[in-house]
């Protein structure tokens, strides 16, 4: 039940951000610092989520088949593959490496 609560709160706060943009006076838009923080935070969070999902397992670090997924996704993106192909490349690499015996 507790996960439901945090999930719904996240939804509420997500909508609150969006709505706030429509309700605050446009003068705040002229503050480039707010807009910069929103941007740098997006980059930082996505970079952090990428690496956490690649190497963290609970509170320890592990180099396993997920590193292969990271590399495969990087190559797919480099080749300008669409998002879904990138995701499939990551899944395929991880599954393939496990078949070959690399955890």
- Closest to other proteins by CB, 32 vs 101, is 32
- Closest to other proteins by CB, 60 vs 101, is 60
- Mask 60-79, x = binds other proteins (CB under 8 A)? xx---xx-xxx-xxx-xx--
Cα separation, 78 vs 48, in Å, equals 20
Cα separation, 44 vs 36, in Å, equals 12
Q: Phi/psi of residue 102, each to 5°?
A: -90, 105
CB of 101 to other proteins, least distance (A): 13
Residue 9 CA from chain centroid, whole number: 20
63, 79, 82, 102: residue in contact with other proteins (rule CB under 8 A):
82
* Helix intervals (H) in the chain: 2-23, 32-55, 65-78, 83-99
Query: What residues numbered 8-47 form the site for other proteins, per CB under 8 A?
Result: 8-11, 13-15, 17-22, 24, 26, 28-30, 32-47
63, 79, 87, 100: residue in contact with other proteins (rule CB under 8 A):
87
């Amino acid at each position: 039940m507790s996960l439901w609560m945090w999930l719904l709160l996240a939804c509420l706060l997500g909508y609150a951000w969006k709505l706030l943009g429509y309700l605050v006076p446009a003068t705040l838009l002229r503050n480039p610092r707010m807009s910069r923080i929103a941007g740098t935070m997006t980059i930082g969070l996505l970079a952090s989520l990428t690496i956490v999902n690649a190497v963290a397992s609970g509170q320890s670090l592990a180099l396993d088949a997920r590193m292969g997924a990271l590399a495969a996704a990087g190559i797919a993106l480099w080749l300008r593959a669409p998002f879904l192909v990138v995701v499939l490349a990551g899944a395929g690499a991880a599954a393939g490496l496990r078949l070959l015996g690399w955890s």
